[in-house]
Structure 1
Amino acid sequence: MRIKSVRYRKQVEMLKDGRGPMPVAQAVERVKQMAAVNVDRGYKNGKRRKGADQTVDLVMSLGIDPKQADQMLRGALMLPKGTGKTQRVIAFCDASMVAAAKAAGAVEAGADELIDRVTKGWMDFDVAVAHPQLMGKVGKLGRVLGPSGKMPSPKSGTVTADVVKAVKEYSAGKVEFRNDAGGNIHMPVGRVSFAAGDLCENIDAVISHILRIRPGTAKGQFVRCACLSATYTPSVLLETG
């Protein structure tokens, strides 16, 4: 049986007075309190050790059937307060757009040479953006980029004629999402160092967006449950209305 750490047990103890669903603001404060247990890690060699600035994640369990194509949810969202992470973006575009794409934040941009580099296994990037005219060539990278979720797609806005705008948005932290096989959506909504109000604003933006794109064929309760957690904390249930 796996033994829980002392820090984890302290975090669970914090939940004893509130196991049920909480309003977003209260849940954010609770997660920040639990994450603080990991911040001060004592001393080593006379220096205070500090934990990482943990990512705060939102998970929504949805009343959809992932086996039905018309109930699959996929897209991208620019969070009002960002995610706290700078993403490495590449752009598949012709020579006339390379300079502008790099000026917008792309770590690499180009056509045949970049495609060949990725084909050979280079994957040091988080997001790939492509111009529609190049998708005939980029499409051949499906076996390379597909498994890691980096294949450009019109649904996520990574296949677009406005390559420069897409590079700017994704470099600034625009987040892609898609439901998993269980009908769940996982989204990073910031860092524990964010102000509570900023985290609440990001969470509200995600929930509102998901509600707006509810599939017309989805039956019954759409948001079955939602929970919030940081990288090293237990989850806190959210009130979903």
Structure 2
Amino acid sequence: MAKLTKKAKIVAEKADNDKLYGVDEAISLLKELASKKMDETIEVAMNLGVDPRHADQMVRGMVALPKGTGKDVKVAVFARGDKAEAAEKAGADKVGAEDLMEDMQNGNLDYDRVIATPDMMGVVGRLGKVLGPKGLMPNPKLGTVTPDPAAAVEAAKGGEVQYRVEKAGIVHAGIGKASFGEADIRENFDAFVGAVVKAKPSGAKGKYVKKVAMTSTMGPGLKIDLSEIEGA
């Protein structure tokens, strides 16, 4: 049997797989166990009582994390003229039209968010099979199809995260970095979980929030006590 590393031994001693942790307790432990060599991402995963194969049970949305994500978000924008210039000034990593479409068709998809003005959707629509599977297709409900791309770029760069339930009924997102203060991580946790709870679809029956867990990039998964989550 392979020997546990020093880090793995510490994790095994301090993290209890069967315990339900309070949110603050989980945050404190994940920060304590985080690597000193890299700034790990703190993540939340929620197991929901929905079947996303049914349209009335889809959970999808966007939430602004009050303390940001600590991540450099790469944003591409489809726009022309003044709106393209405004998006560039707002910090977009790539702005274009047909040239950007061709670039993406050639496999250049290293973006976290794709934004488009309404008049560009005829161009963007040709990328459905490319952007769709990656969850990058601009969508007016998520604010990524907008007449004000500059504001959307600023929101994305400022800590706005998208979430979408997966086939197994799980929705997850990074809510900050291990270097964040505990209060800041808690504020982001409450904002994300609160948004998902409020997004409960009309078709969801029975218990909506079944499980919640927190983890870090290289850390253990900690089960959260649902009694601390309002609306769960």
User: TM-score when scaled to structure 2?
Assistant: 0.92
Letter of the structure 2 residue corresponding to residue 30 of structure 1: L
Partner of 2:49: 63
Distance 2:54 2:110 in 1: 33
Partner of 1:162: 148
Distance 2:207 2:3 in 1: 36
Unpaired stretches in structure 1, ≥5 consecutive residues: 40-50
Note the C-alpha offset of 1:71: 0.6
Three-state SS of the structure 2 residue aligned to 1:91 is strand
Distance 2:2 2:210 in 1: 29
- CA offset digits 1:62-90 (Å, max 9, x no partner): 11112211111111111000110121111
Partner of 2:90: 104
Partner of 1:8: 8
Unpaired stretches in structure 2, ≥5 consecutive residues: 228-232
Three-state SS of the structure 1 residue aligned to 2:213 is strand
CA contact (8 A) 2:61 2:199 kept: no
Partner of 1:130: 116
Moved over 3 A (4+): 1-6
Note the C-alpha offset of 1:3: 6.6
Partner of 2:30: 31
CA contact (8 A) 2:44 2:215 kept: yes
* 1:1-241 pair list within 5 angstroms: 5-16=5-16, 19-35=18-34, 38-39=35-36, 51-241=37-227
CA contact (8 A) 1:95 1:111 kept: no
- RMSD over aligned CA atoms reads 1.7
Partner of 2:230: none
Distance 2:111 2:67 in 1: 22
Note the C-alpha offset of 1:128: 0.8
Distance 1:173 1:3, change over 3 A: farther
Length, aligned pairs only: 227
Letter of the structure 2 residue corresponding to residue 12 of structure 1: A
Distance 1:202 1:123 in 2: 28
- CA offset digits 1:121-176 (Å, max 9, x no partner): 22232211011111111010112222322221223221112211101111223111
CA contact (8 A) 1:228 1:238 kept: yes
Letter of the structure 2 residue corresponding to residue 25 of structure 1: D
- CA offset digits 1:85-126 (Å, max 9, x no partner): 121111101222111110001112122222222222222322
Distance 1:4 1:223 in 2: 34
CA contact (8 A) 2:41 2:216 kept: yes
Distance 1:4 1:183 in 2: 33
Distance 2:156 2:189 in 1: 18
Identity %: 37
Partner of 1:48: none
Three-state SS of the structure 1 residue aligned to 2:226 is coil
CA contact (8 A) 2:60 2:199 kept: no
Distance 1:53 1:90, change over 3 A: same
Distance 1:156 1:8 in 2: 40
Distance 1:92 1:225, change over 3 A: same
Distance 1:227 1:94, change over 3 A: same
